[in-house]
Amino acid sequence: MTTLTHFDTPVSEPINSQIMQLVVDHLTDISAMEIAPSNLLYSIYQYAIGFEVHLYLQALGGAKGIAVELIVATDAQDPQKVTGFALYLPVKDDPQACGIAYMAELASHRHLGVIRAMVQEVVRRYPHTELTCSVAKVAAFEAMGLQVIGTRGPQVLMNTRDHSTDGLMGILDVAPIYNSTEVRQIHTYLLQRNGKKAMLDAEKKRDRQIDQLTAKAKAFVAQVKD
């Protein structure tokens, strides 16, 4: 059994740290580019996406001027154990709408329908819910009541309705994370360890993957709309 708890204020440190561990452990699943551990840039995205989620968790309660809410799934037999989370952004001028920004579940709990339960709870609160996912996950989200409405970058855009909201969603500016001293330090370390050619190859591999995923998403949506 899974217990779901809604938060619109900052969570306790034990919950926060378990959410951050989920992000680090499931980065390929969470990142839009599906970056693999074999890519030398992986640790950069582990830090950057992890820090982005950290900032959103800090923004719970409106501290950063944007609306952020969170559903946390815990094990009913062990209430201290976080088994999944869904971090979503309510739309400022559309009280029915939100966008799910990040979502993950423990691999050991996938058979228990943790993601489904969290999505259903978000939709219960915000009937006009939107998210993006890989082509491979479309069928699972369709079974949860979402439909394909387009693409966003390398991912398929899905919604509980046949259109996106016209309202405005507040999001954090993540560019400073990638320009931060910490990211530069990680990059410098990787450069010294692996060499310039290997790092350039990793960047090309990442860019090729983004292009391939973008083309795959567009082709998939075109087929669905045909």
| pLDDT (tens digit per residue) in 156-210 | 999 999 999 999 999 999 999 999 999 999 999 999 999 999 999 999 999 999 9
133 pLDDT higher than 90: yes
148 pLDDT higher than 90: yes
Q: How confident is the model at residue 14 (pLDDT cuts 50, 70, 90)?
A: very high
pLDDT in tens, 20-60: 999 999 999 999 999 999 999 999 999 999 999 999 999 99
Q: How confident is the model at residue 138 (pLDDT cuts 50, 70, 90)?
A: very high
- pTM assigned to the model: 0.95
Closest CA to 44 of 180, 220, 142, 166: 180
Sequence-ordered list of residues with C-beta below 8 angstroms from that of 215, at least 6 positions apart, any chain: none
Measured CA to CA, the distance from residue 69 to residue 98 in angstroms comes to 10
pLDDT in tens, 93-132: 999 999 999 999 998 888 889 999 999 999 999 999 999 9
Was domain 2-225 assigned CATH 3.40.630.30? Answer: yes
Decide: 2 and 113 in contact? Cβ < 8 Å: yes
N- to C-terminal Cα separation, the chain: 40
Closest CA to 182 of 45, 55, 57, 16: 45
1 pLDDT higher than 90: no
Please, which contacts does 192-198 make with residues 24 or more away whose CB atoms are closer than 8 Å? 194/40, 198/40
Give the pLDDT of residue 107. Answer: 87
Report, as an integer, the average pLDDT of 6-16.
Answer: 96
Decide: 8 and 71 in contact? Cβ < 8 Å: no
Closest CA to 118 of 143, 146, 85: 85
Beta 97-105 vs 128-133: how paired, if at all? parallel
pLDDT in tens, 200-225: 999 999 999 999 999 999 999 999 98
pLDDT in tens, 50-103: 999 999 999 998 888 999 999 999 998 888 999 999 999 999 999 999 999 999
Give the pLDDT of residue 96. Answer: 97
Domain extent listing, the chain: 2-225
Give the pLDDT of residue 76. Answer: 84
Compute how many other C-beta atoms are within 10 angstroms of the C-beta atom of residue 173.
7
Give the pLDDT of residue 141. Answer: 98
Give the pLDDT of residue 79. Answer: 87
